[in-house]
Chains A and B, each alone.
Chain A
Amino acid sequence: MDYELTGEQREFRKSFRAFCDKEIAPRAREVDAKATFSFENHRHLADTGFFGMPFPEKYGGRQGSLLTCTLAWEELARACASTFLSCGVGSLLSGMSLHLFGTEDQKQNYLAKLIKGQRIGAFALSEPHCGSDTAALKTAARKEEGRYIIDGEKAFVTNGPVADFVVVFAVTDPSAAPGQRMSAFIVEKDLAGFSAGPSLEKLGARGCPVSDLTLKGCLVSENQLLGAEGEGFLCAEKAWGFGRLGFAAYSLGVGQACLEESIGYARKRQAFGRPIAHFQEVSFKIADMQMLVDTGRLLMYRAAWMMDRGLDARVDVSIAKLFASEAATWCAGNAVQIHGGHGFIKGYEVERLYRDAKLGEIGGGTSEMQRMGIARSLLGEGF
């Protein structure tokens, strides 16, 4: 047993925080206000080796443990949740799919370039009519003369408008069991019939472009099949295991930022002749924030640690994601409350954090889906 990070991990977190404070955080407000992807942030992150953190050295990665990755993820989300959603979760989902299911050629062509920051990846699973219920997917890939013809619509695709390639999930065998119906494909942005819709206007994480995708008679070769035919569901499940851990980090970063903003404001803001930090209604809310963020972090670390050891961590990742996301929205709501009128005004960090927090309870499977999964693990088959 050991409840502390190693000296190396603490050092890494410190230096990564310094990097984020210097290069990422100053642009956070603008990224949100303009609701555009920051290629500058993307380049800075590529230069630090961020994209390669969990991937093998062979492709330019750092082969770090997931536990160490979560440290960087949380810091990036703390500095700019939008950027983390694009460059963290978005890249992780496409990158992990390639890492786990790609051929050597695919890894060299896509993963290595993603790690270098030369290509941006996206991951397209949800459709306009289905999110968590992946068995209802309609996008189809028909095989004809050694090629696949993909037709369908994808929804809420993170990085959709800026992606150079997209991992697309499509049904290849409608008659197979639900877990074997779909396959994953790598689709390049300039493929005929492929188009990304306009960036959707969103409540929060506005600087992360999200769009619908349309695939009309897209012809892709067998070489673009990711994993074997019928392995799409498996690929999506595995990638989302990492994605959920990423969302736990997203929420913890937002929660931590709310905590820090609240501490700073409570110290400065005077009311009735003293800083509002002196009032228990304020300082106790801040104590609760710290307790929640601290607890969420323990849950996330344990889930990452289990995944690093190759243990089945599906339930633990769900627990971490569920707890951290609800903790973050609580922290954000109370951070705005502590800021009073200022918290409601654009320009105060907490106004943005409040909007950013909500995604944690929805992306990567809603809180309801996490609870369903956790309950199933308790009840066993048949429920």
Chain B
Amino acid sequence: MDFSFTDEQKAFKEQVLKFSQKELAPLAEEADWKGEFCWEAWRKMGAFGLLGLPYPEEYGGSGADVVTACLAGEAVAQGGAEGGLCLAWGAHTYLCGDTILKHGDEEQKRKYIPKISSGEWVGAFGLTEPGAGSDAASIRTTATRKGDYYLLNGTKMFITNGPIADVLVVLAITDKEKKAAGISAFIVEKGTPGYSVGRELKKMGVKASTTGELVFEDCPVPAQNILRKEGDGFLIALGTVEWDRSTLMAPFLGGLGYALEACVKYAKERVQFGRPIASFQAIQHKLADIKVTLEAVRLLIFRVAWLKDQGKFTNPVEAAAAKLFVGEFGMKAASDAVQIHGGYGLMHEYPVERIFRDAKLGAIGGGTSEIMRLIIARSIFAAGKPL
């Protein structure tokens, strides 16, 4: 075993951290308050090269491995960037872009990846529907072949970046009889007739990411926009949601680091009963618990990242453990962080208030904690032995 990062990785993380502190953190509070997508931050991330981080250089990316990509995710959040920005980044770069990169043909890759990489186009991934969340195989959106086109009909729900997306990967049924094996993935461009954003949804946390309901009404998608072939959609989606449970979790790690730093600073400065509250054990032990959670999350996330770098396409149990831990222990840590700040912790001007609201996503987005438990339990009882 070897838990070390290379000097290059460490230096890169440091660079991203500084970038985030200087360029992204000052924009965070307002973006969160308004609940609006922050194009200024987005363009800065694009210019810095973060939006195309994992793509090969020939498609305009930086060719970073997954471990490095997770370090960047951690650093952006640790520097104080708003959680919604991190989420938008994840949905764009991994859920949409990386899915096209992994499963697209050469033409599709040439057409979309460079634009996603630069941030010129915003990407989104449309799987969830009003009636199909955890039970993703029960989606009802259909794609019916009509000559050189597929006609898409249906509604997608909670789609991150949906309202601003230029390109989307959309999952739809091409053969109802085959159930999960009858689901296919399509690339849909903004402006396609019959495609519209139903409404933009307002959220409790990660507010600066846009979330939408998307409507498809006889929306003609060129047949060459299918990813791989008919029926491969569900497998593609399984690989994609694993990003939700790894790379997209890295900002939660950074958020914990950011919150812990804020707590340490506050606890040392805040004086009650004649001494800094950091001298009280009740406060100290909460700080320790946040630190324990942070270190555990670090190991769980980088294990999945490392496994992905080893070429293991899906690592469902390790990813589920990471996601479950982040969801459950992350909420507790965020709650402790607010508690340490007392009344100030409830106030918008203190960043822990935002971290607390953002943390809940960890237990819901990309598969709820219950689904993570289901995945782990199934691996135990189906395989006949524990890991």
Contact = CB atoms under 8 A, between A and B. Distances in A.
Interface in B263-287: 264, 267-268, 276, 278-279, 281, 284-285, 287
B386 A301 contact: no
B296 A298 contact: yes
Given A287-B376, A378-B260, A1 B292 contact: no
Given A288-B373, A298-B299, A383-B278, A4 B285 contact: no
Interface in B1-57: 1-6
B321 A299 contact: no
A3 interface: yes
Contacts of B376: 287, 290-291
Contacts of B267: 379
A22 B306 CA distance: 36
A260 B381 CA distance: 11
B307 A383 contact: no
Interface in A289-308: 290-291, 294-295, 298-299, 301-302, 305-306
Interface string B322-336: 001100000000000
A277 B373 CA distance: 13
Interface in B285-333: 285, 287-289, 291-292, 295-296, 299-300, 302-303, 306-307, 321, 324-325
A260 B387 CA distance: 10
Given A291-B325, A323-B292, A383-B279, A259 B386 contact: yes
Given A260-B386, A290-B380, A378 B321 contact: no
A147 to B, nearest CB: 43
A284 B377 contact: yes
A299 B1 contact: no
Chain A interface helix/strand/loop/mixed: helix
B122 interface: no
A319 B321 CA distance: 19
B86 to A, nearest CB: 23
Interface in B129-162: none
Contact of B1 (A263, A294, A301, A372): A301
Given A1-B5, A298-B300, A283 B381 contact: yes
Given A263-B386, A284-B370, A383-B279, A295 B299 contact: yes
A202 B307 CA distance: 44
Contacts of A323: 292, 296
B1 A378 contact: no
A368 interface: yes
Interface in B192-237: none
A229 interface: no
B377 A283 contact: yes
Given A259-B386, A295-B321, A299-B296, A1 B287 contact: no
Given A299-B295, A319-B291, A322-B292, A287 B268 contact: no
Interface in A272-331: 277, 280, 283-284, 286-288, 290-291, 294-295, 298-299, 301-302, 305-306, 316, 319, 322-323
Give the interface centre of A2, A5, A290 by most chain B CB atoms within 10 Å.
Answer: A290
B296 A3 contact: no
Contacts of A383: 268, 276, 278-279, 284
B288 A370 contact: yes
A319 B295 contact: yes
Nearest to B372: A287
A286 B1 contact: no
A383 B381 CA distance: 48
Nearest to B2: A2
A372 B387 CA distance: 33
Of A4, A260, A374, most buried by chain B (CB within 10 Å of CB) is A374
B241 interface: no
A378 B2 contact: no
A263 B306 CA distance: 29
Interface string A255-269: 010011001001100
Interface centre among A5, A291, A302 (most CB of B within 10 A): A291
A1 B288 contact: no
A130 interface: no
B241 to A, nearest CB: 18
A291 B324 contact: yes
Contacts of B85: none
15 contacts: A1-B2, A1-B302, A259-B386, A284-B370, A284-B374, A287-B380, A291-B321, A294-B321, A295-B321, A305-B2, A306-B3, A322-B288, A368-B285, A375-B288, A379-B267
